[in-house]
């Protein structure tokens, strides 16, 4: 089993994966206690942190300044379906960042495997096992 998902109570759902327990909960509006991020929040966070590690690695490998560097993500939703239809990632770099690396740091962020998986979504098989 690659991952185990359990239900510790209320609207909380936990995932045990690679020795970590990742806690989730629903917002109070959705019947939860808001004690942890929602599963969808973690999905969005995975996009930002994935792009972020590629940007950070790019900067570190070249000894480029990253003090104050950050990524800002903006999500646009379809008004009818409420599905995220566009994600804008702003890579914010310090003022002393060398202009010659601007295109390359963008290319580094494009390497994010979460983003790649969204571009070529996997198929899903769902099984119900009783007993």
pLDDT by 10-residue block (mean), the chain, 131 residues? 94 98 97 97 97 98 93 97 96 95 97 93 94 92
Q: Would you list the domain boundaries of the chain?
A: 37-119
* Separation of alpha carbons 117 and 97, rounded Å: 30
User: According to the model, what pLDDT value does residue 129 have?
Assistant: 96
Residues paired with residue 77 on neighbouring β-strands, in sequence order: 84
107: tokens are 């290319």
The full length of the chain comes to: 131
CATH hierarchy code of domain 37-119? 3.30.300.20
pTM given for the model:
0.89
131: tokens are 């007993």
**Which residues are CB-neighbours of 74 under 8 A, at least 6 positions away?**
87, 88, 90
User: According to the model, what pLDDT value does residue 66 have?
Assistant: 87
């Amino acid at each position: 089993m690659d991952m185990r998902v359990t239900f510790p109570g209320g609207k909380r759902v936990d995932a045990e994966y690679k020795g970590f327990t990742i806690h989730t909960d629903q917002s109070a509006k959705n019947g939860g206690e808001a004690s942890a991020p929602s599963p969808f929040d973690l999905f969005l966070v995975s996009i930002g942190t994935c792009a972020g590690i590629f940007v950070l690695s790019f900067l570190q490998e070249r000894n480029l300044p990253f003090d104050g560097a950050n990524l800002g993500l903006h999500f646009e939703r379809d008004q009818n379906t409420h599905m995220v239809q566009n994600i804008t990632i702003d890579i914010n770099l310090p003022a002393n960042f060398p202009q010659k690396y601007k295109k390359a740091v963008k290319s580094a962020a494009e390497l994010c495997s979460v983003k790649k998986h969204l571009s070529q979504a996997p198929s899903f098989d769902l099984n119900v096992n009783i007993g």
